[in-house]
Chains A and B, each alone.
Chain A
Amino acid sequence: MSKLNARERIAKRIAAELEDGQAVNLGVGIPTLVASFIAEKEVYLQSENGLIGMGPPPEEAAIDADLISAGKEPVTLAKHAAFFNSADSFAMIRGGHIDVAVLGILQVNPQGEVANWAVPGQPILGVGGAMDLVVGAKKVIAAATLFAKDGSAKLVPQLTYPTSGIRLIDMLVTEHAVFEFTTDGVVVTEIVSDMDFATLQSHINVPLKQLKPMSCE
Chain B
Amino acid sequence: MKNKMVTHTDELLHVFQDNQTILAGGFGLSGSALTLIDIVAKSHAQNLHIVSNNLGDRGIGLHKLFMQGQITKATGSFFTINKEAVMAWSEGNLAIDLLPQGTLAEAVRCGGAGIGGFYTKTGVGTALAEGKEERTIDGERYIFEKAIKGDIALIRAKKADRLGNLVYHTTARNFNPMMATAATTVIVEVDEIVEKLDPEAIVTPHIYVDYIVQTTYKKEGDFYVEA
- Are A165 and B30 touching (Cβ within 8 A)? no
The interface bits of chain B over 115-138 (1 if a CB of A lies within 8 angstroms of the residue's CB, else 0) are 000001111111110000000000
Minimum Cβ distance to chain A for residue B172 (Å): 4
Minimum Cβ distance to chain A for residue B154 (Å): 15
Contact partner of A129 (CB less than 8 A), chosen from B77, B96, B109, is B77
The interface bits of chain A over 66-107 (1 if a CB of B lies within 8 angstroms of the residue's CB, else 0) are 111000101000000001111101110110000000000000
The interface bits of chain B over 68-81 (1 if a CB of A lies within 8 angstroms of the residue's CB, else 0) are 00000000011111
For chain A, the count of residues having a C-beta within 8 Å of the partner chain is 43
- Are A123 and B89 touching (Cβ within 8 A)? yes
> Which residues of chain B have C-beta atoms less than 8 A from A129's C-beta?
77, 100-102
Please give me the residue from chain A that is nearest to B121 by CB atom.
Answer: A135
Please give me the residue from chain A that is nearest to B99 by CB atom.
Answer: A127
Residues of A within 8 A of B (CB): 47-51, 60, 63-68, 72, 74, 83-87, 89-91, 93-94, 118, 123-132, 135-136, 162-167
Known: A49-B171, A67-B170. A127 touches B178 (CB 8 A): no
Known: A85-B173, A85-B176, A86-B174. A125 touches B96 (CB 8 A): yes
CA distance A92 to B29 in the complex (A): 23
- Are A131 and B128 touching (Cβ within 8 A)? yes
CA distance A130 to B80 in the complex (A): 14
> Which residues of chain B have C-beta atoms less than 8 A from A127's C-beta?
77-78, 98-101, 128
Please give me the residue from chain B that is nearest to A125 by CB atom.
Answer: B79
- Are B126 and A124 touching (Cβ within 8 A)? no
Any A CB within 8 A of the CB of B86: yes
Please give me the residue from chain A that is nearest to B221 by CB atom.
Answer: A63
Known: A90-B102, A127-B78, A128-B77. A51 touches B223 (CB 8 A): no
Minimum Cβ distance to chain B for residue A140 (Å): 13
Known: A123-B86, A127-B98. A87 touches B109 (CB 8 A): yes
Minimum Cβ distance to chain B for residue A116 (Å): 11
Minimum Cβ distance to chain B for residue A138 (Å): 14
Minimum Cβ distance to chain A for residue B140 (Å): 10
CA distance A68 to B81 in the complex (A): 16
- Are B221 and A124 touching (Cβ within 8 A)? no
> Which residues of chain B have C-beta atoms less than 8 A from A85's C-beta?
105, 173-178, 203
Please give me the residue from chain B that is nearest to A126 by CB atom.
Answer: B80
Please give me the residue from chain B that is nearest to A75 by CB atom.
Answer: B171
Please give me the residue from chain A that is nearest to B156 by CB atom.
Answer: A66
- Are B31 and A131 touching (Cβ within 8 A)? no
Secondary structure class of chain A's binding surface, majority of residues: loop
Contact partner of B85 (CB less than 8 A), chosen from A49, A125, A162, A165, is A125
> Which residues of chain A have C-beta atoms less than 8 A from B102's C-beta?
48, 86, 89-91, 93-94, 129, 131-132, 136
Any A CB within 8 A of the CB of B205: no
- Are B173 and A84 touching (Cβ within 8 A)? yes
List of 9 A-B pairs having minimum Cβ-Cβ separation, nearest first: A90-B102, A126-B80, A132-B102, A86-B105, A66-B172, A166-B125, A87-B105, A87-B109, A67-B170
- Are B171 and A125 touching (Cβ within 8 A)? no
Minimum Cβ distance to chain A for residue B45 (Å): 24
Minimum Cβ distance to chain A for residue B21 (Å): 18
- Select the residue from A89, A129, A131, A164 with max chain B CB neighbours within 10 A: A131
- Are A86 and B27 touching (Cβ within 8 A)? yes
Contact partner of A68 (CB less than 8 A), chosen from B28, B108, B122, is B28
- Are B78 and A90 touching (Cβ within 8 A)? no
- Are B103 and A128 touching (Cβ within 8 A)? no
